[in-house]
Amino acid sequence: MATIGIYNSSVSAAWDATDRLITLDANTAIVCQIVADNLYAKDFYDLGSLGLTGWTVIDAAANSADYNFFARDVDAEVKGPLNDFSIPFTEETTLSGQVRFMDVAVGVGGLSYGTGDASDLSQRGYLSRIHPADAVIQQDLDYAQVNGPPWRTLKYPNRYGTYDRFTLVGGTIAPQNTYTPFSRIYEDHLCGIQTIYYDDTARNWASCLKDPASNNGFWLGTSVHYTAVGCMLNNNPLLSTPARGNVDYWTSSTVFGNSTRALQYYNRTTSAQQVLSLGKTSTRRALYFRYMDYELT
């Protein structure tokens, strides 16, 4: 296998340890990300303008047979040099087309007590996800903290080409502790979950259930889904979702063995999060979830 030169931190803080530099000739270079034996083209540069010295780089044209080349978020500046040097590559929208969302293990059983509750959603298949065959890379958090704090930073780029775990639709970084304007969709690119907050009204449990078939696919979150996007391991409340802090939210999960009580997600900054039992006639707010579609590649 060919050896790819690795940038060090003195060149630019924006280039991390998973980025590699390949040269096409004495003046041009493409920065790629390596995943296994695959090279995903990221950016095109005029090598001379970077002022790089002391780097071991590889001639991509001479070693193209050693790697599978992919181009993502490509424009003419990236695609052109690859074509000019007859390097075969597969064009993809983003690397995320190869990245698999993390499964959220729900494990729902028991009776259903209303359309849209956790058991009903499970029986109808809304809590199961089918991964496409080409999604062979498991998404993970950036525990090496190359691009940011691991609770909100991805190991592999999201569909917008950034490492942000939480965004709004379109790729803007999701604001924290912001729940208005209502009906704005937030995305968690680790779990592949979208969340939405329709209003700030507290209702009883039955009134908060929604049938996803008539609600654009959104359903009242189960206790597990609240925990998944709430970063429980870091004791953070629902910071990067459209949720209001210091209030409580219904889940669609009934307490096992007690049909009159459901679980509520206790979204308090003073004591992190808790999942507590509550009588279904009480009133709480509601946050709605749906699984994100995969990109076509």
> pLDDT per residue over 161-173, tens digit each?
788 999 999 899 9
Do residues 154 and 161 make contact, with C-beta atoms less than 8 angstroms apart?
no
Flag whether 73 is in a domain: yes
**For residue 2, what pLDDT is reported?**
30
143 — pLDDT class (breaks 50, 70, 90): confident
- Domain end call among 69, 92, 115: 92
Q: Pairing relation of β-strands 58-59 and 19-23? A: parallel
Q: 245 and 274 in one domain?
A: yes
What is the number of structural domains in the chain?
2
Q: 276 and 133 in one domain?
A: yes
Of the given ranges (123-127, 254-258, 271-275), which has the lowest mean pLDDT? 271-275
The CB density around residue 276, as the number of other CB atoms within 10 Å, is: 13
Q: 264 and 148 in one domain?
A: yes
CA distances to 58, 156, 210 from 18, rounded to whole Å, are: 16, 9, 43
Give the domain range for residue 177.
100-291
Flag whether 153 is in a domain: yes
User: What is the distance between the alpha carbons of residues 84 and 177, in angstroms, rounded to a whole number?
Assistant: 49
Q: 155 and 26 in one domain?
A: no
> pLDDT per residue over 33-62, tens digit each?
666 566 666 666 666 666 554 445 566 666
| DSSP assignment letter at 118 | H
Give the CA-trace dihedral at 82, 84, 85, 86, to 10 degrees.
80
> pLDDT per residue over 187-238, tens digit each?
999 999 999 999 999 999 999 999 999 999 999 999 889 988 887 656 678 8
- AA letter at 8: N
> pLDDT per residue over 76-122, tens digit each?
556 666 666 666 666 655 565 678 899 887 877 789 999 999 999 99
Strand partners, 44: 30
Flag whether 83 is in a domain: yes
Q: 88 and 142 in one domain?
A: no
Q: 62 and 142 in one domain?
A: no
pTM, two decimals, is: 0.71
Q: Which of 214, 222, 226 is nearest to 188 (CA)?
A: 226
Q: 249 and 159 in one domain?
A: yes
Could you give the 3-state DSSP secondary structure of residue 279?
Answer: strand
Q: 162 and 56 in one domain?
A: no
> pLDDT per residue over 249-264, tens digit each?
999 999 988 999 999 9
* pLDDT more than 70, % of the chain: 64
Q: 193 and 49 in one domain?
A: no
Q: Where are the beta strands (DSSP E) in the chain?
A: 5-6, 19-23, 28-35, 38-46, 58-59, 68-72, 89-92, 99-100, 137-138, 166-168, 186-188, 193-196, 219-220, 247-254, 261-267, 273-279, 285-286, 288-291
Q: 191 and 110 in one domain?
A: yes
